[in-house]
Amino acid sequence: MRQGNGGGDSVSPERLTSPEALNHLRERLLKQRDNSRTVINVCSGTGCLACGCSAVTAAFREALAESRLENVVELKTTGCHGFCERGPLVAVYPLGVFYQKVSPSDVKLIVDQTIKGGKLVNKLLYKDPQTKQVIPYEHEIPFYKKQMRLLLGLNMVMDPNSIEDYFILRGYQCMVRALFNMKPEEVVQEVLDSGLRGRGGAGFPTGKKWAACREAKAETKYIICNADEGDPGAFMDRSLLEGNPHSIIEGIVVGGYAVGAHQGFVYVRNEYPLAVKNLTYAIGTAREYGLLGRNILGSGFDFDIEVSRGGGAFVCGEETALIASIEGNIGTPRPRPPYPAEAGLFGLPTLINNVESWASVALIIEKGAKWFSSIGTASSKGTKVFALTGNINNTGLVEVPMGITLREIIYDIGGGCPRGKKFKAVQTGGPSGGTLIVESGEPEIHESLVAHGDIREEEEAISLLDLPVDFDELTKAGSMMGSGGMIVMDQDTCMVDMAKYFFNFLQEESCGKCLPCREGLQIILAVLKRIADGKGETKDLDTLEEVSQVMIDTSLCQLGGTAPNPVLSTLRYFRHEYLAHIQDKRCPAGVCKELVSHAIDETCTGCHVCFEPCPTDAITGKTKELHVIDQAKCIQCGACYQVCRFDSIKRVKRGGGDIVQLRAKEKWQPLKKRTAAVA
């Protein structure tokens, strides 16, 4: 059953047998399409779906039918627009108006005012949180303005379930170019020349992999697309698979042609049901059109793709473990060499690349290696998609040219930390990456770096915010590019807790095959837990460093080899926080439960909001009077901290909750008077 694409472009699928037939079809589709008509694009990526965009789409359908506009205005459900923080997102073309946080009840207003009247609905427009300026058009929003959306761009304008949409946007032209105008060696050379490095994390030159696989002698070869995006905090692969699956199919077919393979697998995470659905559907329609299967477009080249669902194991992102998993085994890695390019799936040469790499391939073949290598830095070419998340104003997917600084990403695109909190660090590369500090002007960070031997006493540390983002620079700074997760942390994040979090994750996800990883993770996690519980000793820091070094030197795969990064990088930049936990039994950020108690300060308005979530009834106080937390009852769950709208709940050193006692004795007076008294 074919899904409708909402517009008038639906054509019954015909098997295309030549590039000319594809061009004819495209021309026919272009003619059918009236470019002046109004198109309403509702973002239907997972982020917006979770915000309830399907109800918005339904409301639009109803409102358009009611106004008898359903045949005039096209309603399109697209892939992820990237600006997830503001979902559900609605864009109205050709005006390019951008509406955010749209609810079903706003739909009628949009139809009446914007669609019929050509006027803007002010309350739904984006308002810059810093300048307070209202920005009606998509391309003017700072979040999008500084980006270079080469891979993600099409996500916003096409329906992933409409191959016809993709045809109109010059889809499958790069495949035609490779199959008909280039020899396989030329394709490999093009990828080599482009300087593309694998986007999965390690940054291995993609062209070299291709050349090795092409040279391997075997009757059968395989292609694998690694879509096992297990890194917590990264979702660009998901967004591409959901929003533009055809670009990945196209890249894979080109890869198959280049190395001489006829079968491809896409290994997708089980936690991504929509990606599986859209990709499977896209493969189906591509097959119907003759863009996959036997004799693709009459070129004499056969290629097909199968989707393989993963079982939810982080280690399967490692290529040899992933191959074992597709074969129906447990996902444990094996030593390399031989590399998969020589002996991979079923022992045969296999070319394995990440989703983003495959999408980039399609781009390189279409526009040429020269164009691609003109973007980026000397050692890292092209653009990179980052998932900008955590404590940041503009959360979402950000595609930027390599070499942009972290400052530009975090402040210009991301808009800084919310609620005026102080920016502390940014974490890149997921559990294998490190935590990077940013402003190095802090004396404590300076001391940490001196203690670590990174700089001398009199030297000034370079602010890592001004670091150009590329594979090598990030590695030098003690982190890595990884798959592109970029998690921003504000003053409320405890670095010991973060290291503990990553080790908890890695210890759960380690396959346990090799001893350094299996045992090393447990030892480090135990030490980190001890420190977070206030039972650490100074010598524990040496243990952390020693065990980390053993893991780096002796682990079988990169899960173990890069696992110590979170602890080593936090020790490098935030040693003072570890020492505060060990020596003063204090958690400076107020996160580690064993060291923290909650207290209410004088900014409390007595609104009672904190009463309800408190599971132990520890909070007392009359309406409009200062509330008090009974420390004997409080279990430090943090529920009150989360709900307080006035930031009146403070997390203070355990046993040092003097705020509570002191303020409770004071006679309560209205907030205005109190601030006046202070002033």
Which residues of this chain interact with other proteins, rule CB under 8 A?
A: 46-47, 49-51, 84-85, 87, 229-235, 238, 269-273, 308-314, 325-331, 387, 389-391, 395-396, 427, 430-431, 485, 487-489, 493, 498, 501-502, 505, 508-509, 511, 612-613, 615, 617, 637-639, 641-643
Cα separation, 258 vs 315, whole angstroms: 29
Judged by beta carbon, residue 99 or residue 172, the one nearer other proteins is 99
**What minimum distance in Å lies between the beta carbon of 653 and other proteins?**
19
- CA 560 from chain centre, in angstroms, equals 22
In the bound state with other proteins, the residue whose beta carbon lies nearer, of 222 and 289, is 222
Give whichever of 215 and 612 is closer to other proteins, judged by the CB atom. Answer: 612
Structure tokens at 142: 């700072």
The answer to whether 134 and 125 are in contact (CB under 8 A) is: yes
CA distance linking residue 343 with residue 350, whole number of Å? 7
CB of 118 to other proteins, least distance (A): 31
Q: How far is the CB of 264 from other proteins (least distance, A)?
A: 13
Least Cα distance to 517 among 571, 545, 557 occurs for: 557
Question: How far apart are CB 67 and other proteins at their closest, in Å?
Answer: 31
* Coil vs helix vs strand at 477: coil
CB 196 within 8 A of CB 364: yes
Nearest one of 259, 264, 233 to 248, comparing CA atoms:
264
Q: CB of 388: closest distance to other proteins in angstroms?
A: 9
Pick from 560, 561, 554: which is nearest to 506 by CA?
A: 560
Phi-psi region of 420 (alpha: psi -120 to 50; beta: other; left: phi over 0): left
When the beta carbons of 141 and 211 are compared against other proteins, the nearer one is: 141
3-state helix, strand, coil in the chain (%, to 5): 45, 15, 40
Q: 231 or 356: whose CB is closer to other proteins?
A: 231
Tell the smallest beta-carbon distance from residue 82 to other proteins (Å). Answer: 9
Q: Amino acid letter at 216?
A: A
DSSP 50: H
d(CA 161, CA 317): 27
**Are residues 164 and 9 in contact, defined by beta-carbon separation less than 8 angstroms?**
yes
User: Beta-carbon neighbour count of residue 11 at 10 Å?
Assistant: 13
**Cβ closest to other proteins, residue 64 vs residue 322:** 322
At 573, give phi and psi (nearest 5°).
-100, -25
Q: How far is CA 398 from the centre of its chain?
A: 9
**Strands (DSSP E) along 402-477, which ranges?**
423-428, 434-437
Whichever of 266 and 541 has its CB closer to other proteins, that residue is 266
**Three-class HEC string of 53-90:** HHHHHHHHHHHHHHCCCCCCCEEEEECCCCCHHHCCCE
The residue among 310 and 657 lying less far from other proteins, judged by its C-beta, is: 310
Least Å distance, CB 142 to other proteins, is 17
Helix (H) or strand (E) holding 304: strand 304-309
CB of 232 to other proteins, least distance (A): 3
Instruction: For residue 63, give every residue at least 6 positions away whose Cβ sits within 8 Å of its Cβ, in sequence order, or none.
Output: 107, 108, 111
Nearest approach, Cβ of 376 to other proteins (angstroms)? 25
- H or E, element range at 350: strand 350-354
Q: Which is closer to other proteins, CB of 424 or CB of 585? A: 424
How far apart are CB 609 and other proteins at their closest, in Å? 8
Cα Rg, the chain, nearest whole Å: 27
Nearer to other proteins, 84 or 291 (CB): 84
Q: How far is the CB of 573 from other proteins (least distance, A)?
A: 17
134: β partners = 127
Which residue's CB is nearer to other proteins, number 125 or number 637? 637
Q: Closest separation between CB of residue 15 and other proteins, Å? A: 24
Alpha-carbon span 113 to 158, nearest angstrom: 24
Query: What tokens appear for 270 in the block?
Result: 């089980």
**51 vs 176, beta carbon nearer other proteins:** 51
- C-beta closer to other proteins: residue 22 or 90: 90
Give min distance, CB of 229 to other proteins, in A: 7
* Beta bridge partners of residue 628, listed in sequence order: 620
Angle 46-51-52 from CA coordinates, rounded to 5° = 95
Nearer to other proteins, 364 or 511 (CB): 511
| Pick from 360, 408, 118, 173: nearest CA to 252 | 360
Least separation in angstroms between residue 242's CB and other proteins is 9
Q: Which is nearer to other proteins, 159 or 229 (CB)?
A: 229
Task: Report how far residue 138's alpha carbon sits from residue 126's, in angstroms, rounded to the nearest whole number.
Answer: 9
Cα separation, 23 vs 33, in Å, equals: 15
d(CA 655, CA 673): 30
